[in-house]
Chain A
């Protein structure tokens, strides 16, 4: 049995992290002109929507939110026993010339983000792509880093980080699980 090692963030912790990231995004991009958020399925999507809501609260102007499914861009499809389900990519705005902020729950090896970068590029040519992640747990396998991070969490490779969000899981928390001894 895997056991829960520690809770890293609770509802309030997640809320504060997202508020800070929203401020950082606005500051870094000098406002919301040409700004758009794209959440990576699944848990990047509610996070992107929450960030967009915060940004609108702060600036009084909204930024569009898109949804990215990266399944068709994964680099491990050939090694999986079964083909994973493909869901829709829903980016209703043109990405060309936009400042895109990719949003995901956890950044780990960087392979998901590599796939997401390719997926976004296939939709057009953004002016810039930035990355926001609620948790950075290290162990990168590719030269990729996040521009906005909720919390850095040193982990061992064997551990797993689980983000649970109200919209999908009915509660807000981030926990680390460790494998059995």
Chain B
């Protein structure tokens, strides 16, 4: 039992049995969320600090609720309201937080590799809540948990990830995770948003959307990152919606019981049609609930600091 690393910076190097362990523990955690009294004393006296250098609603709230349901103390800082805005480096901010006694630091940062850097700097466990376009492991874990809960397995499923793969850390973590668990990962989107070499991660790349959707068991629709779209990577939102937006007709190409996922926040009418987002195949709201359960499992497992570090930390 237990994870081998003290941190979770990405899924690239997490073995299948550890992913399974996290998903297994998320099930009893979900039962706690459904109770009238959503509180267990497990992490009493532990401190979880969320450090967000980028905007977020669901991820930060999800981590904070997960920590609170387990009775940990939580506090959060965002770039705009902290010394980060005075130019303090991420390392110094982290050392300050660690010196105050944080057990787990949840970090979101625009730079790929930021979580890794922090993990090497402080003794506390670091969870990557998104670093640039690199990884967002807890999102992929909740995606896997949600699919496994609905389908009973991950092995052999066809997972189509549609949209802006280039800028998506969710896509990268999903590719590593689903591929490791034996699913077939398909990617489709505008050619300009498909990073070269992504096949090496174990995914199949389609430039034809219809082919990627054919018989898919899961369609994971990525957000068009409006804040990153003024570089002329595709002609416009209307054009994108026409060519790659998932609507009722396109959904019919997938397996009849295909699940529709979206990591949020959604641009309704752009990458996803409202009738698909709110349709019976959509499990988008469940992803959000499951996110809390999966993060509870992560916090629980990481408070032991990882077996490799038992002696040093």
Binding site for B on A (CB under 8 A): 69, 72-73, 77, 80-90, 118-119, 122-124
Residues in B neighbouring A69, C-beta threshold 8 A:
28
Q: Does B100 reach chain A (CB closer than 8 Å)?
A: no
Report Cα–Cα, A170/B66, bound state, in Å.
Answer: 39
Please judge, given known A-B contacts A72-B42, A82-B1, A86-B300, whether A123 and B35 are in contact too, CB under 8 Å.
yes
Report Cα–Cα, A66/B313, bound state, in Å.
Answer: 39
Report Cα–Cα, A86/B36, bound state, in Å.
Answer: 20
Binding site for A on B (CB under 8 A): 1-2, 21, 24-25, 27-29, 31-32, 35-37, 39-42, 70, 297, 300-301, 303-304, 307, 310
Residues in B neighbouring A87, C-beta threshold 8 A:
28
3 closest Cβ contacts across the A-B interface? A82-B2, A72-B42, A72-B40
Please judge, given known A-B contacts A72-B40, A86-B25, A89-B28, whether A81 and B35 are in contact too, CB under 8 Å.
no
Please judge, given known A-B contacts A69-B28, A88-B28, whether A83 and B303 are in contact too, CB under 8 Å.
yes
Chain B residue with the shortest CB-CB distance to A90: B31
Q: A81 to B31, Cβ gap below 8 A?
A: no
Chain B residue with the shortest CB-CB distance to A94: B36
Q: A122 to B28, Cβ gap below 8 A?
A: no
Q: Which of A72, A77, A84 gathers most chain B CB within 10 Å?
A: A72
Report Cα–Cα, A55/B121, bound state, in Å.
Answer: 60
Please judge, given known A-B contacts A73-B42, A86-B300, A122-B37, whether A81 and B24 are in contact too, CB under 8 Å.
no
Q: A86 to B310, Cβ gap below 8 A?
A: no
B101–chain A nearest beta-carbon distance, Å: 14
Report Cα–Cα, A83/B304, bound state, in Å.
Answer: 6
